[in-house]
Structure 1
Amino acid sequence: MYTISDLQKIVEKELAKQDYIVEPANLYRPIDYVMGMGGKRIRPTLCLAGCYLFDDDIQNALNPGLSLEIFHNFTLLHDDIMDKADVRRNQPTVHKKWDENTAILSGDAMLIKAYQYATLTDARFLKKVLDLFSQTAIEVCEGQQYDMEFEHRDDVKVDDYLTMIRLKTAVLLAASLKTGAIVGGASDKNADLLYEFGENIGLAFQLQDDFLDVYGNIDTFGKAIGGDIVANKKTFLLLNALQLASGSLRDDLLHWINAETFNSDEKIEAVRNIYNTLEVDALAKDKMGFYFDKAINALNQVDGRETMKDELRKFAMQLIERSR
């Protein structure tokens, strides 16, 4: 019997076998660098889990799982260029370690590599897997486009934000589970229920990330608290605050949003106090709970291996109950 931890170890072992560097080496070294940065390998692990729900043999899920991990890391590489990020997982980003042109081209090669791994899927399932991969890839790009547009728009609503995080984050988790289900021989109904589980867990996870950026503990969250507030990032919390605030409270919020010079700690504390007054923290928790419940309800309807369903329930709990 496999656990989620067992599947993660299988993924790591398989990734360690891959040799990305061929000629011209300068195209492929950044790919090897990115893939060697580590991470939780959530997407390929979920792909294997989706397969194991329906089939004892998880070998069919390995190549499509690797394709999803390579694609995920490709999106991070290009996101770092767009965000002008200097560090990823405590290491220099590719465009800082090399240069921007190298990062763009190596990222392009990563996307093609991801498709090459996907095409190694068993022929019985290949069309379904490639169709899902392509649909997911274009949706992730749509989510990134919305994310970039939101930085300059003043009319973003909460529903717009939820659409963006669904596309940018949730659909790839959902597709990972469904891909595994497909190669595991699941029925369309079961594969779709797993997709629904992954999509809703992805939404809950991103909302939790927003929440922890404001209310988390720096030692357990893994990054500085309040970064979204400092950057005026249009999160679930800020958008709800803008919708609910009125009078002097709204004036105070707009003051901090529009301030060009400020003390970061003072701004974080002031905006957090506004959030508390408006109780948008409670709204965020309610929304997380809503998506989590939807996810578990979908998983409960899946006709698959009960031990792996239990593992996925625990995994879901761990994702959205990270320490504050």
Structure 2
Amino acid sequence: MNFLEKYQKLVSEGIDKNQFTAKPTELYDPLNYILSHGGKRLRPVMALMAADLFGGDLQKALKPALAIEFFHNFTLIHDDIMDEAPLRRNHPTIHTLHGVNTGILSGDALMIQSYRLFEDLEPELFKKVLTLFSKTGVQICEGQQLDVNFETQDNVKNKDYLTMISYKTGVLCAAALQIGAWVAGASDEDAENLYQYGINVGVAFQIMDDYLDVFGDQEKFGKKHAGDIFENKKTILYLLAQKYANEEEKKELDFWYSKKTDNVDKIYGVEKIFRKIKVDEKVQQLIEKYNQKAQKYLDRVSIEDSKKQPFVQLAEYLLNRNI
């Protein structure tokens, strides 16, 4: 991950310089709290990587990159409320500490603050970026609603799931890359190819998250083990299990996914089926598929291949992370 360090450092410094000091502190302190937890900050890093690829000014790209990070964390605050999640990045979630009402208000404030970070862009670029950013925000909401719908929907298909994660995760990665490219003066064609690269990398990233929810090291992952099973989420693991399970295994899956309980028997029973059918191997193959699609779009970007190596490394990291 050394190739990301200079970008992560810039993002960290930018967040430190943009600490919220206004009142009421009950509204703003939770924003500083969630932003201080760090994480990999991949989305703002992607914006800076894209700007750097086209020889752009990283300082000019920094505020738009922070806007993407702020918006992403707004979605996490609200996701955690909807999922009743106790942890985020190994820290108590905001609504757990401060209540649901403060969580909603703080999330809303962070979303609005994200838009303010584009204000320094020249008018034509500002309009272009805001149009994409607003479209992306709506798609994220659509993806989240699809995710909620799937919990009680019996006939979820693979294509439905892939649409959902494209909206919920892929589009923000893609927008980060396109915005970074635009800020650096890239052509619309190159920016669009980076956007499509980002969609596919984002899908691969979310599929890996679904995988790690069950098969990852939970101490490093920072979330409740098998939280998706507890929430009856129709992730790709569940859909592949339904596809390859025998009738007896399907009946057991249907039984467990008809109950919303964190009973260890449920977690054990579902995990046992996943392992028996080798869902983990099938998921890894799907991640590789989307990695290859991403690389095809990266190849179309009209920059010499040597300068694209950080993007190749990024995709490889997403494919191979074993936390």
Q: Same-fold call, TM > 0.5?
A: yes
Equivalent AA in structure 2 for residue 271 of structure 1: V
1:215-254 counterparts in 2 under 5 A? 215-218=215-218, 220-223=220-223, 225-254=225-254
Cα deviation, residue 164, structure 1: 0.8
Q: Which deviates more, 304-313 or 185-194? A: 304-313
Letter in 1 for 2:300: Q
Letter in 1 for 2:273: I
Shift of 1:276: 4.0
The alpha-carbon deviation at position 241 of structure 1 amounts to: 2.0
Please name the residue that 1:26 is paired with: 26
**Partner of residue 257, structure 2:** 257
Q: Secondary structure at the match of 1:118?
A: coil
- Structure 1 counterpart of 2:271, one-letter code: R
TM-superposition CA deviations, 1:125-149 (whole Å, max 9, x none): 2111111111111111111111111
Is 1:292 aligned to 2:283, yes or no? no
Query: CA shift at 1:42, angstroms?
Result: 1.2
Residue 38 of structure 1 and its aligned partner are, at CA, apart by 1.9
SS state at 1:110 partner: helix
| Structure 1 partner of 2:316 | 317
Q: Show the counterpart of 2:269.
A: 270
Distance 1:4 1:306, change over 3 A: farther
CA contact (8 A) 1:31 1:110 kept: yes
TM-score by length of 2: 0.91
Pairwise CA distance, 1:85? 2.1
User: Does residue 121 of structure 1 match 2:121?
Assistant: yes
Following the alignment from structure 1 to structure 2, what is the Cα–Cα distance between the partners of residues 70 and 55?
25
Q: Name the counterpart of 2:101.
A: 101
The amino acid of 1:121's aligned partner reads L
Map Cα deviations across residues 226-247 of structure 1 (whole Å, 9 max, x no partner).
3333443211121222234343
Which secondary structure state, in structure 2, belongs to the residue aligned with residue 125 of structure 1?
helix
Residue 156 of structure 1 and its aligned partner are, at CA, apart by 1.5
1:18-167 correspondence runs (5 A):
18-167=18-167
Q: Which amino acid aligns with 2:185?
A: G
Whole-Å separation in 1 of the counterparts to 2:134 and 2:177: 15
Preserved contact between residue 52 and residue 308 of structure 1 (Cα < 8 Å): no
Residue in 2 that maps onto 1:183: 183
Distance 2:87 2:219 in 1: 18
Structure 1: gaps (5+ residues):
none
Does the aligned pair in 2 maintain the 1:226–1:268 contact within 8 Å?
Answer: yes
CA distance in 1, matches of 2:43, 2:249: 42
Alpha carbons of 1:290 and 1:86: their partners in 2 closer, same or farther (altered >3 Å)? same
TM-score after normalising by structure 1 = 0.91
Moved more, 303-312 or 158-167: 303-312
Change (3 A) 1:23 1:311: same
Separation in structure 2 between the aligned mates of residue 280 and residue 3 of structure 1, nearest angstrom: 32
Higher deviation after alignment, 277-286 or 178-187:
277-286
- Tell me the secondary structure at the aligned position of residue 28 of structure 1: helix
> In structure 1, the residue corresponding to 2:117 is in which secondary structure?
helix
**Segment of structure 1 superposing worse, 240-249 or 194-203:** 240-249
Instruction: Tell me if structure 2 keeps the 8 A contact 1:64–1:120.
Output: no
Tell me, what secondary structure is at the counterpart of 1:151? helix
d(CA) in 1 for partners of 2:302, 2:14: 28
CA contact 2:87–2:224 (8 Å) conserved in 1: no
CA RMSD of aligned residues (A): 2.3
What is the CA distance between 1:277 and its match in structure 2? Answer: 4.2
Measured against aligned partners, the alpha-carbon deviations of 1:108-160 in whole angstroms (never above 9, x if no partner) come to 11111111112222334211111111111111111111111111222221211
Distance 1:199 1:121, change over 3 A: same
CA displacement at 1:14 relative to structure 2: 1.4
Contact 1:49/1:308 (8 A) holds in 2: no
Distance in 2 (CA, whole Å) between partners of 1:205 and 1:162 is 12
Give the 3-state SS of the residue equivalent to 1:20 in structure 2: coil
Q: Deviations over 1:266-319 (max 9, x none)?
A: 444433342344443343222211110000111122123645410111111111
Structure 1 CA distance for aligned equivalents of residues 137 and 261 of structure 2: 39
SS at match of 1:304: coil
Structure 2 CA distance for aligned equivalents of residues 223 and 198 of structure 1: 24
